[in-house]
Structure 1
Amino acid sequence: MGISELLLYIKRKIRNDAPVNQVAFDEAGNTGQNLIDLSQPVFALASVHMTEYQIASIRKSAKLLPNEEFHFVRFARNRQGQERILNMLRNNNISRKTCAITVFHKQYMAIVKIVDMLVEELAYQNGFDIYRKGMNQAMSNLFHTVLPVFCGSELFEELIDSFVRAVRKRDAVVINRFYNVIKKMHRSCTDEDFKSELLMLLETSVIAKSVFKNARVTSIDPAIPAFVNLTSHWSELLNQPFDILHDRSKPIEHEQELLSYFMDADEQEILVGYDRRKAKFPLKATGIQFVDSKLCPAVQIADLLSSAIVFYLKGVLDSSLRSPFWYELEKFKKRLWSGLIVNPLWPSADVTPEQLGTEKSGVLIWLNM
């Protein structure tokens, strides 16, 4: 090999082995503001930062042809396709260094938004910060855990349904329906001590009209906070500007102006949040480029991860969905599903700062199933 050939080889090797300054995103299970779709209880957004070589290696694991598009839903329909999915997931290029996923339990998100939009706002107006030491998380976990027990699962589901409708329609009729459900819950609550918590929810009615009127169209769409979660993660991990390639997403496109503000490099850097929940702004992403997943192999890898985790978590929530393929995916629980998850919105029974990890910084181990 001559000098010129050697230099050409080195250039190609560097090009293929160095991660391009891009992170690819794709989502699964998105039903927009409809958080009550029982067939789609989980939302996931996955992100990938890989070299061309790493992407090619993963595609080779599934014996994909050069121009063949990978799509999880299509491959998961038969055993041969499922095995190709599993081979891709076994590839060691999928790691914490190259991939990150965030997941949202939609029903729990509705409870979180009730606390965030109503309880927190009323508390703030009265000079109290419920974000400190994770009181908002504790309250959300408490409501999600005990409301179905003390007030019945039917009223619990009616509460979530009426709240979602109030956010989406914003008129007096649907808002009144939401508070009427809370009144029903208060009357039927089997725990006398917990009734005071329901009275607190009723007290938020004094600010409800203003809150719902000013709520953004995407205020209860998981795609937006999921995007910020992962962009913040990569900003910290890469510590340099990067581009985002994103499969078409209506909520992201709708809020592109707001998200661009979060990425405005001319803004002064600030640290937002408490304890382990801190994030630096502006985010280091330089912008969002919407792409056709057919033409972007990195987005197809993100589709693999987001769709696989949604498939797996649906089986976690409903044992009747546990097919042989689901049990194969469960084998990745420790290496992938626990290892790649970043800032999930997932319910637990944790209510103290020590349990929540809000006393000090650290990694919260969430997938305790």
Structure 2
Amino acid sequence: MQCYRIDESGYTGFDLLNADQPFQGAAAIAINDGDAERLIREHFPMLQASELKYRSLSRRPANHPRLLALLRDLLTEYQSVTYICDKRFLLVLMFCDYAVEPYYYERGYDFYADGQNYAMASLLTMTGPTLLGDPEFGEMLAAFQHAVKEKSHGALRAFVDAVRATKWLQFPEALGPIAQFAAPECQAAIAHPGVDTDAAMVVLQSLISRMEVMNDEPYRIEHDRSKNLARYNALLERLIGHRDEIELKHTKIASLKFPLKLTEVHQVDSKDSPAVQLADVMIGAAIEVALVMAGKRKDGIDPDALMSLYAEEQFIHLTPSLDFAEQREFRAGTEASRAIDYMAANIFGPLQEDGR
């Protein structure tokens, strides 16, 4: 049975506004420990550390050519997928999902049709500080994030006040439901116990949608036994356990069909798994390049050199785009509303503190 090793980076739980870690992602690669160990010895024969860690290796510019050579071998010879998301953009998307969409839904309007939610979120993300006021736009997002986490009357009231403190009349289609009406349907959505701002599910759905396409037969996943990945493990087990037959279309090229071909998930110690260590290298490099391209880091491997190694289907990203025509074509026929409702009702509820 094919086994994918996965690792994540940038996980900050509910806090998607963490300034030090603006991107979150994960990588999955179908490689066994024997091949992984061979490649590590081949590209880093003088390695003294007990575990290959991208962050440690990348600190030395002399290691960059070796890292690129290793990544070239991985991306050329093994099935893989890497996913990166802009967490601030994801938070704005969630704002549109819970603080905007319910208002339109109650009035019979399909807010998700042809990716209109992505268009609105992109426009908000890229023009919000200028259009709505800076720092008011950032304070509104922080208040939204806090309200989703706390779900108290006080937190919801503070969120409504934060929206009203912006120049919301500049974009009433997005902010009007809360600013003008304090829309009770939106507040109810934010207060729902199954709603949170944790990005783990978004990351997993993107990885799994690609792995499902890559595999005709059942496959399994192994990942590091870490605190951050405990959340991923619990979500994976829920996805595996769902046996109803249904297919949910997300975009022109991505859908999720249940039951999954994914049948097992196991936790391992990354020190004992060279394959998991290579997943760390893959996602570490992708996150570093995202930071460099966003102007948040000056050092690191060359972004152009790394991005040229990916085949189109090997790299998925969630970032804002003002090319609305392209987004409309890409998301034509999306079943986002149906997918969100189905997943909330049939697969996901609030997780316990231990991640279950």
User: Which residue in the other structure is 2:309 paired with?
Assistant: 335
Taking the aligned partners of 2:104 and 2:230, their CA distance within structure 1 comes to: 32
| Matched residue type, 2:306 | F
| Matched residue type, 1:358 | R
TM-fit CA distance, 1:68: 4.0
Report the CA distance shift for 1:246/1:316 in structure 2 as closer, same or farther (over 3 A): same
SS in 1 for 2:241: coil
Whether 2:277 is the aligned partner of 1:300: answer yes
For structure 2, which runs of at least 5 residues remain unmatched after alignment?
A: 335-356
Superposed CA deviations along residues 303-332 of structure 1, whole A, max 9, x for unmatched, are 00111111111111126x222x34x34312
How do 1:209-228 and structure 2 match up within 5 A? 209-216=187-194, 219-228=196-205
8 Å contact kept, 1:309–1:337? no
User: Computing the radius of gyration over CA atoms, which structure comes out larger, 1 or 2?
Assistant: 1
Normalised by the length of structure 2, the TM-score is 0.83
Report the CA distance shift for 1:235/1:114 in structure 2 as closer, same or farther (over 3 A): same
Report the CA distance shift for 1:354/1:169 in structure 2 as closer, same or farther (over 3 A): closer
User: Which residue in the other structure is 1:206 paired with?
Assistant: 184
User: Which residue in the other structure is 1:357 paired with?
Assistant: 330
User: Which residue in the other structure is 2:216 paired with?
Assistant: 239
How do 1:102-181 and structure 2 match up within 5 A? 102-181=83-162
Taking the aligned partners of 1:110 and 1:354, their CA distance within structure 2 comes to: 19
Whether 2:43 is the aligned partner of 1:61: answer yes
Report the CA distance shift for 1:353/1:84 in structure 2 as closer, same or farther (over 3 A): closer
Whether 2:53 is the aligned partner of 1:71: answer yes
8 Å contact kept, 2:82–2:207? yes
| Matched residue type, 1:318 | G
Percent sequence identity is 23
| Matched residue type, 2:52 | F
SS in 2 for 1:180: helix
TM-fit CA distance, 1:263: 1.9
Report the CA distance shift for 1:107/1:26 in structure 2 as closer, same or farther (over 3 A): same
Worse overlay, 53-62 or 142-151: 53-62
| Matched residue type, 2:44 | A
TM-fit CA distance, 1:174: 1.9
Whether 2:298 is the aligned partner of 1:322: answer yes
Superposed CA deviations along residues 324-348 of structure 1, whole A, max 9, x for unmatched, are x34x343122223866212x22111
Taking the aligned partners of 1:242 and 1:53, their CA distance within structure 2 comes to: 18
TM-fit CA distance, 1:77: 2.5
TM-fit CA distance, 1:244: 0.8
For structure 1, which runs of at least 5 residues remain unmatched after alignment?
A: 1-19, 362-369
8 Å contact kept, 1:141–1:351? no
Superposed CA deviations along residues 104-156 of structure 1, whole A, max 9, x for unmatched, are 10111110001112322333333332222111111111211222221223112
TM-fit CA distance, 1:352: 3.6
| Matched residue type, 1:69 | E
| Matched residue type, 1:216 | G
Report the CA distance shift for 1:200/1:277 in structure 2 as closer, same or farther (over 3 A): farther
8 Å contact kept, 2:131–2:167? no
CA RMSD of aligned residues (A): 2.8
| Matched residue type, 1:127 | G
Report the CA distance shift for 1:263/1:339 in structure 2 as closer, same or farther (over 3 A): closer
8 Å contact kept, 2:22–2:86? yes
